[in-house]
Amino acid sequence: MRIDGIALYLVNNRFYKPWRTAYGSDDCNSVVIARMVSGAHEGWSESSPLPGPNYSYEYGRGAFLVARDFLAPVLVGREIGSARELNALLSHVKGNPFAKAALEMAWWTLYADVCGRTLGQILGAERDRIEVGDAWGIADSVDQLIANIGKSFDQGFRRVKLKIAPGWDEEMLAAVRSVFPDQTIHVDGNSAYSYAEHADLFRRLDRFHLAMIEQPFQAGDLLHHAKLQARIETPLCLDEAITEPWQAEIAAEMRACRYINIKPARVGGLQNALDIHEICRQAGIGCWVGGMLESDVGKGICVELAALPNMTYSHDVTPASDSYPENFSETPIRMDPDRTICLSRRVGSPVVPVLSRMLPMTADSAFFGVCAEA
Ligand code: MG
């Protein structure tokens, strides 16, 4: 498949309300939308590292610049037959998985378009709909959070994820469990804790029988995740820690977790996501797909990935309309009342943007090959 052209867009989209986590508060997201063209075929993707270098060292504008200056120019005009070939061509850039994923996932949706198949068929999806859960950031008060969680369960969500941060954890969970004693709840520490200071806290959280504790310690700290997992009953889930398949292998070997949250953009794209999914399947580690507040262009890709066989927990893939008043997708993702989402029946990209709605939100763009000539 010859890559005839690439277009990159840096798109800013404002949330209904700021999204608060252990690393701060964001009013507006900043994502890279990529289009890749081969002959009459095209593929679209989205990578959303968040607007500042807080979830990881990457951020929207930074990922756009890396993709524009170092990655896209290497691919245009080349014959690229597989995602592994594409990854080899991008390996001269160290790290930067979100920037690489913008191009790698556009290759997959383009490939699906060339093959005349849906992305789910190409990836090996084994179900036609996926279940999603709800998530709440840090609230102004515990009462407000409890009211929010009540809304989620009333609306039919079967699990809720809560962001935690030092000082917003044990007491908050005791209050939440006093109102919702048996419901499926898990928490996400977003790397804000340390083993030395907080191991005992996490042992005490066992009494809340949480479905899992996501990424309490720093991304590189597999050792302390493994030590904590050996001391607590609650499963640990790794998120930020896993950006490449070899890290999943080490995590499995060290028994550092019982779940891995796979975000295709965080791991450099769909090939690495497939490889991590397979490593986990063989090691008995469950997977699910996490969200990065993407638009429906990116969520559409996540939905297809979430239908793989070793996805054993409900996903953070609610429609973009839950987070943003402005939607620039041609076919917005719809969640059914039972909180499931159907896979796309569209050949190629599951969801494509409407340019006339996306361009007014575009802060920067870059065009290569035939996309530059258009
Ligand atoms: Mg997380």
- The answer to whether position 130 is within a domain reads yes
Q: pLDDT tens across 266-292, in order?
A: 999 999 999 999 999 999 999 999 989
Name the β-bridge partners of 13.
29
Catalytic residue among 17, 100, 161, 163: 163
For ligand 1, a single-atom ion, the residues with CB < 5 A are 188, 214, 239
Are both 320 and 228 inside the same structural domain?
yes
Q: How far apart are CA 369 and CA 192, in angstroms?
A: 43
Cα 239 to middle of ligand 1, angstroms: 5
Ramachandran assignment for 55, one of left (phi > 0), alpha (psi -120 to 50 degrees), beta (any other): alpha
> Does the pLDDT at position 21 exceed 90?
no
For this structure, is 163 an active site residue?
yes
> Domain with 66 in it: what CATH number?
3.30.390.10
- What's the mean pLDDT in 334-339? 96
Q: Give the domain CATH number at 136.
A: 3.20.20.120
- Residue 50 inside a domain? The answer is yes
Summarised one tens digit per residue, pLDDT across range 186-195 is 999 999 999 9
> Is 263 a residue of the active site?
yes
Catalytic residue among 94, 151, 161, 263: 263
374 in any annotated domain = no
Give the model's pLDDT for residue 374.
72
Domain count, the chain: 2
pTM: 0.96
Residue 89 CA to ligand 1 centre (angstroms): 29
Same domain, 79 and 142: no
What distance in angstroms lies between residue 110's CA and the mean position of ligand 1's atoms? 29
Asked whether residue 268 is domain-assigned, the answer is yes
Residues 361 and 326 in one domain: no
Q: Which domain holds residue 31?
A: 5-116+352-369
Ligand 1 centroid, distance to 190 Cα (angstroms): 6
Domain match, 156 and 95 both: no
Q: Per-residue pLDDT averaged across 319-334, rounded?
A: 93
- Predicted local confidence at residue 24, as pLDDT: 76
Interior angle at CA 128, CA 126 and CA 130, nearest 5: 95
- Cβ atoms < 10 Å from Cβ of 207: 13
Are residues 139 and 222 part of one domain?
Answer: yes
Cα of 118 to ligand 1 centre, how many Å? 28
pLDDT of residue 312: 97
241 with 361, same domain? no
